[in-house]
Amino acid sequence: MSNYVIFTDSGCDIKPAMLSEWGVQCRALTFRFNDSDKEYSNEDMAVSEFYQKMRDGGVAKTAAINIDSFSEAFEALLAEGKDVLYLGFSSGLSTTYNSARVAAEELREKYPERKIITVDTLCASAGEGLIVRLVVDKKNEGATIEEAAKFAEDIKLKIAHWFTVDDLVYLKRGGRVSPTVAFVGNTLGIKPIMHVDDEGHLTKVDKARGRKKSLTAMADQYSRTAETPDSGVVFISHADCEDDAKFVADLLKQRHGVEVQVITDVGPVIGAHSGPGTFALFFVAKQR
């Protein structure tokens, strides 16, 4: 088997312990609250504490991973004689991928005998986590680094991301919806149905009145668009709304007999932009 390491970042919302089980290395984006200069990674604060701070009015800002951080991590592997395949957080949502790309370009000159490949997954949260898992499976089947990278490029625009949020105020802060839309939506209990498009941006697709209808709409999208609905690999992430995650997981099991393989938290770095109550469903679709 090729001697390469799969590398990602904390935008994937997969816990470090699980990534370690998969043999994947990771660098972390950071966040801080406006009333403090202290920076945290996802693992430095319990998600329940983070989202309670947001509910209490706290505003969190996030920071991408810089070039030096990637250079340090990649070089340590290259110096050991290992090649690197980096699967990165969507360039449509963060500059993190570009930092990794620049670091890789610089290191190729220093280590011409080694291979370092970067893939902009155009994915986020556990959608990024899902593509990482699928590429790990390919590696374990014996794929070379080039074959694994090609697989990632070929499948990334089939990784469906379906989101809904509980409170539009957080999307308003990020400029995703207007103040008027946020006010009317929250007043009438209207929940947006959103996805990540082919450019890796978060895009509004539809809306539903009430939380349960928006969650059911997620399951409906799976039923309509999953490539293999009765045997698909499904990941869910949620922002402190575990009951909602279980509700949709049960719906998918009832409809298609599929088990959700991973239910994970929407970490603070992603949640800072979408807020508590965010729910997201990820699977391999016929197309995004």
Mean pLDDT of 198-216: 87
3-state helix, strand, coil in the chain (%, to 5): 45, 25, 30
Mean pLDDT of 149-170: 91
Measured CA to CA, the distance from residue 131 to residue 136 in angstroms comes to 9
**Domain extents in the chain:** 4-32+63-156, 159-284
* CA torsion angle 142 146 149 153 (round to 10): -120
Is a pLDDT exceeding 70 seen at residue 178? no
Mean pLDDT of 180-207: 75
Give 182's pLDDT tier (boundaries 50, 70, 90): low
Domain 159-284 classified CATH 3.30.1180.10? yes
Q: Which tokens belong to 286?
A: 């016929």
Class of CATH domain 4-32+63-156: alpha beta
Is a pLDDT exceeding 60 seen at residue 282? yes
Is a pLDDT exceeding 90 seen at residue 2? no
Measured CA to CA, the distance from residue 111 to residue 75 in angstroms comes to 9
Q: Which tokens belong to 44?
A: 């430095």
Angle at which helices 125-140 and 145-155 cross, to 10°: 140
> Do 4-32+63-156 and 159-284 agree at the fold level?
no
* Structure confidence by residue, pLDDT tens digits, 36-82: 999 999 999 999 999 999 999 999 999 999 999 999 999 999 999 99
**pTM value > 0.75:** yes
* Structure confidence by residue, pLDDT tens digits, 106-139: 999 999 999 999 999 999 999 999 999 999 999 9
Burial of residue 287 (CB within 10 Å: 0-12, 13-18, 19+) is exposed
